Structure 1
């Protein structure tokens, strides 16, 4: 390439037979990308190049790389160069970001001088054994992952280092930090051969996370005035933790460290959130005794502890949130927790009857994953606004006089009879949100539900496999603003009374197979019953077929469709859509290639027809609290 070319950016990709490249003096060349040139073995780049960014990737035969001194080079990325064994960088005064990944045979990195290096990432370099870095006063982030043969890391004085992450380095045994006064985040995960960890006195991390280091035995933390979050998980041989001083430590999580026995006593005046799982009773006692302002506590599998020692209850008087797992009997001791407002009982297979004391002033209660629970006894808590019960298939008895302030009810993984029993405790002036899910023996909603739902604003029904119809009385829910029916495969129709829901703003229909078929073959029917709703969402309806009469949706403002294969920018249905007077936003996933993000001119305004890239479960999730990643979480805005 002659130097007379005024190149500022060069990209060479997928040149399988390209063997050599000689770049002469291009003072204007700022960005260069070389990718998928399998046979390229020779690369000459004179130092006179004005490169600021260089990316080399998918060069299978490149064995070594020597770069001249580029004073302007700021970003260097080397990726998927399988045969590359070493990288030599002379003085690189402008280099700020270096990334090396998927270089299986990479063993050596020689950085002579990189005074401005701020970010270094090395990933999936399996044969890298050791790493020695020059003094880098501006290095703020260092990440090393999947370097399974890396044994040690030596860092000279790193006054700017704030984030250090080491993970999936199986043979990693030693971390030597000379000085890192600004280190705020240290994360070490899946380093099986790490035995001890000592931090220099000058390091004051605010967040320390160590997990899956099965041979780690001890952790010594000197004075840690800035430490606010400590997490230690799945360290089977971890026995000793020394906290000399941590006045700002507010969150502690220790899980599956069943051999931890030695903890040096320390005062933790700022500890607010404590999570302990599969640890010894001594660990629980030490942390609770050291706290004076604890607000949130999660305990699970603490030896055979049935209840905390009485002398510790005074340290729990400030608790607002309590989560318990692995219970065998009702936790009567929580009656002394006068500040408790939120409680969750979960994962307790031995619990058969749950009775909570009347002295509590709960606003939120969750009971889930208690497979043998048969009886739930509650007091008429005047402040209880949220009740969530799930995955308790044997629960048959629910005893409570009334719940006068209940606004949200989530019920799932139980029998249909329990829902009928619960309606008697509703008051017509309180309930606003109802979530019903995985009640597989329910064919229709209970008839007695109507009189208790006059203020209901949100109703979602999920995965009720035998639900055949929505009750006709649904038209009397005059306050209903949001309705969702998700994965109810036997649902056959939408009731005629849907037309009466004049306040209904949002409708979600997800994968209702039989309903989808009926809507496809009828000429009007179900569609006309929802034409007045301004925001309509169809998800996972791959077989959905729209007729030209979709133009009768004269009130719709937002229409979301996931994968309607027959809908194209030239179809008759699209012509009908563009004539709708109120439609402002139209989203259709499968139009990604067809629409090419073009603008469609709707009758009332020009609106961008953009496409959904995410599946339904990633963009809209219903808050029914069960920790199934595919369906749990909180509803996210889809508009």
Structure 2
């Protein structure tokens, strides 16, 4: 069969280290997709023979370390999802100069850029069809920080860009264009990951359409925006931000250096992991909060979040919740507390959560009791799950008055499950009215 007129070729999940030379016979090929070829090490050296190639899509090819040389010769190329910079001839960043690329582009190996001129020659600012751009250094900030700053400054993208990821950058400051609302006027999503040496962030709160922001593993950052002169309704910080993830930031103290009443007017989802110094302000629109490795300071501050609908607290060594932690969460519908290895008891004010419909408690091995007084106040509770709470021995009497409760699931809580066994357990009368009772694991 003659494949010489083939225009599209997709290879998925193949156990190959390189593409066979027979690909050169596909002179009419316009689209080449290589997906989940985990052992693929390099692209064919003479891939540029495919002069009609318009779209080269690489996805899930994690072992890929070499592109084909002289990729600038593919003058019809419009999509190049991955480009790997090398110091050898034909693999420089300047190869991208005259390619009219659009869609998504991930540039890896930026530690191999020879200098500012090479970065400027990439002409990212001139690529107005690019919508997603990822810039990554493979040695997580171990390169010369000054050189890295100059390179990144020269890699300013076009203002049409929607998503930007910066990974492993070694500089102490991010480029000036990142805090310029006109330079990133269309930006919707931003990720800053593993920028270990970065001392502070630019004025990200000025970006008018930014909806998603993730900041991860930046040891020196204390605030996600240090700009102090947001004044007036028209200048509210982060006016469009809906989702915020702050992860592994050991010195982060507050979200903004100068917190104001108008900040984060659209923020609905917040995820926090290993930010031991962080305290939260009032965030009236926040409906979902997920916190990993909580400290008491952070637990105290969540009492400000009276609009929460879902709260997941996971992984902590606190023995008790600070007083008043959940006093004002009148809208909370779902609460999950998991992997609190030292927790002895739940906060007593949990019984005031009259809107709570889902309560899940798991892997709290030292939890001895649920609040005995007022548990019947959880009048909206429909689903209760208790798992891996080996020290929990009984349910509060108020459970018998929870007429909305539709399901109770208990897993690997031997003492508690024994008391709730049908017909013989001492607590059976408390749960007999529940339509669905599931007991799993007796040891």
Residues in 2 aligned to 1:485 and 1:457: alpha-carbon distance in whole angstroms: 14
Tell me, yes or no, if structure 1 residue 353 matches structure 2 residue 253: yes
What is the match of residue 331 of structure 1?
224
1:514 to 405, 415, 420: 415
1:179 Cα offset (Å):
3.6
**Residue 64 (structure 2) aligns with:** 213
What is the SS of the residue equivalent to 2:376? helix
1:301 correspondence with 2:189:
no
1:501 is displaced (CA, Å) by 1.8
Distance in 1 (alpha carbons) for counterparts of 2:109 and 2:434: 50
1:204 aligns with 2:54: yes
The answer on 1:158 being equivalent to 2:6 is: yes
Deviation of 1:526 (Å): 3.8
Tell whether the 8 Å contact from 2:85 to 2:113 is kept in structure 1 after alignment.
no
Counterpart-to-counterpart distance in 2, 1:376 and 1:257: 32
Q: Are the counterparts in 2 of residues 454 and 479 from structure 1 also a CA contact under 8 Å? A: yes
1-side partners of 2:135 and 2:320: how far apart?
33
1:462-508: CA deviations, max 9, x gaps? Answer: 21121122223333201112222222222223333222222122333
CA RMSD of aligned residues (A): 3.9
Deviation at 1:265, TM superposition (A): 1.5
Match of 2:306 in 1: 404
The answer to whether the Cα contact below 8 Å between 2:317 and 2:340 also exists between their aligned partners in 1 is yes
- Taking the aligned partners of 1:224 and 1:230, their CA distance within structure 2 comes to 11
Deviation for aligned residue 1:190: 2.6
Paired with 2:274 and 2:341, the residues of 1 have a C-alpha distance of: 17
Deviation at 1:411, TM superposition (A): 1.4
Cα gap change, 1:443 to 1:538, in 2 (>3 Å): same
Q: 1:521 to 1:407 in 2, by over 3 A?
A: closer
Q: Distance in 2 between matches of 1:236 and 1:483?
A: 59
1:176 and 2:23 are equivalent in the alignment: yes
TM-score (structure 1 length as normaliser) = 0.51
Shift in Å, 1:297: 4.5
- Please tell me whether the aligned partners of residues 66 and 84 of structure 2 are also in contact (alpha carbons under 8 angstroms): no
In 2: Cα distance, 1:253 partner to 1:534 partner: 53
Distance 1:304 1:326, change over 3 A: farther
Kept after mapping to 2: 8 A contact 1:489/1:514: yes
Q: Given the superposition, is the C-alpha separation of residues 479 and 246 from structure 1 closer, same or farther in structure 2, using an over 3 Å criterion? A: same
**2:152 aligned with 1:259:** no
C-alpha contact 2:111 2:137 (8 A) present in aligned 1: yes
* Residues 124-135 of structure 1: pairs in structure 2 closer than 5 A: 135=2
- 1:389 is paired with a residue whose SS is strand
Correspondence 1:464 to 2:364: yes
Partner-residue secondary structure (3-state), 2:398: helix
Larger Rg: 1
C-alpha separation between the residues in 2 aligned to 1:363 and 1:458?
19
Q: Which runs of 5+ in 2 are unaligned?
A: 139-147, 188-206, 231-236
Structure of higher RCO (CA pairs closer than 8 Å, 6+ residues apart): 2
- Please name the residue that 1:366 is paired with: 271
Number of residues of Structure 1 aligned to a counterpart in Structure 2: 378
1:500-539 equivalences under 5 Å are 500-519=401-420, 523-539=424-440
Q: Is contact 1:461–1:486 with CA below 8 Å preserved after alignment?
A: yes
Distance 1:274 1:476 in 2: 51
1:509 & 1:474 partners in 2: Cα distance? 18
TM-superposed deviation, 1:439: 1.4
- Looking at structure 2, the residues matched to 487 and 509 of structure 1 have their Cα atoms a distance apart, in angstroms, of 8
Give the TM-score normalised by structure 2. 0.70
Mapping for residues 76-155 of structure 1, pairs under 5 Å: 113=1, 135-136=2-3
Q: Which structure shows the higher strand fraction? A: 1
SS of the aligned residue for 1:355 comes to coil
Partner of 2:33: 185
Number of the residue aligned with 2:144: none
Q: Distance in 2 between matches of 1:478 and 1:185?
A: 55
1:245 matched to 2:100? The reply is yes
Could you say which residue in structure 1 is the equivalent of 2:343? 442
User: Would the alpha carbon gap of residues 197 and 254 (structure 1) be closer, same or farther in structure 2, given more than 3 Å must change?
Assistant: farther
- 1:109-133: CA deviation from partner (whole Å, max 9, x where unpaired): xxxx4xxxxxxxxxxxxxxxxxxxx
Higher helix share: 2
Q: Distance in 2 between matches of 1:195 and 1:443?
A: 61
SS at match of 2:270: strand
Structure 1 residues 207 and 485, CA gap change in structure 2 (3 angstroms): farther
Rate the CA distance shift 1:287–1:379 in 2: closer, same or farther, 3 A: farther
